[in-house]
């Protein structure tokens, strides 16, 4: 996958283990940044990417950062479209009641590249019947 550094100090994504699905994204900051309680901050990565055809980039929380610090992507899962060529920026939300500080080069999220199917939509009068039918939230058992 092609990647471009668009800020000095940008670090390439890094997989923490051989079988890690996600690659860590790093904050590209000149100085620490404070995220106030229940606020969102836009954290630059200094990178732009060209995703492979028929894929999108999913930006997920880093589990340790979310559990220990209360920091997660503001939109829960960010979606990077295949044709986007701008800087990857992570909107981090502080779920905690305390200020959180993001340090330069800190791992802030993880990027997973996922294939997708682009369906065409066909309006119909009825859908096929299934055993589940219209039953929703919690209907498949406890």
Task: Please report whether residue 14 resides in a domain.
Answer: yes
Domain hosting 111: range is: 2-115
Task: Please report whether residue 80 resides in a domain.
Answer: yes
User: CATH number of the domain that 42 lies in?
Assistant: 2.70.40.10
* DSSP conformational letter for 14: B
Confidence class of residue 129 from pLDDT cuts 50, 70 and 90? very high
Quick count: other Cβ atoms within 10 Å of Cβ 87? Answer: 16
> 6 — alpha (psi -120 to 50), left (phi > 0) or beta?
alpha
Between these two residues, 30 and 141, which has the higher pLDDT value?
Answer: 30
Task: Please report whether residue 100 resides in a domain.
Answer: yes
Query: What's the total number of domains in the chain?
Result: 1
pLDDT in tens, 62-94: 988 999 999 999 999 999 999 999 999 999 999
Task: Please report whether residue 131 resides in a domain.
Answer: no
> What's the angle, vertex CA 72, arms to CA 40 and CA 57, rounded to 5?
105
What gap in Å lies between CA 20 and CA 11, rounded to an integer?
A: 18
Task: Please report whether residue 132 resides in a domain.
Answer: no
pTM (whole model) above 0.85: yes
Task: Please report whether residue 138 resides in a domain.
Answer: no
Task: Please report whether residue 124 resides in a domain.
Answer: no
What gap in Å lies between CA 54 and CA 45, rounded to an integer?
A: 23
What pLDDT is attached to residue 142?
63
């Amino acid at each position: 996958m092609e990647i471009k550094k668009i800020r000095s100090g940008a670090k390439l994504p890094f997989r923490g283990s051989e079988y890690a699905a996600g690659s860590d994204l790093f904050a590209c900051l000149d100085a620490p940044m404070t995220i106030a309680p229940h606020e969102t901050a836009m954290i630059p990565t200094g990178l732009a990417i060209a995703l492979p055809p028929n894929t999108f980039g999913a930006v997920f929380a880093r589990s340790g950062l979310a559990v220990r610090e209360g920091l997660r992507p503001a939109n829960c899962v960010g979606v990077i479209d295949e044709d986007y060529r701008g800087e990857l920026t992570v909107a981090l939300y502080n779920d905690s009641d305390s200020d959180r500080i993001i340090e330069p080069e800190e791992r802030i999220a993880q990027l997973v590249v996922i294939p997708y199917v682009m369906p065409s939509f066909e309006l119909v009068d009825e859908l096929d019947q299934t055993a589940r039918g219209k039953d929703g939230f919690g209907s498949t058992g406890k």
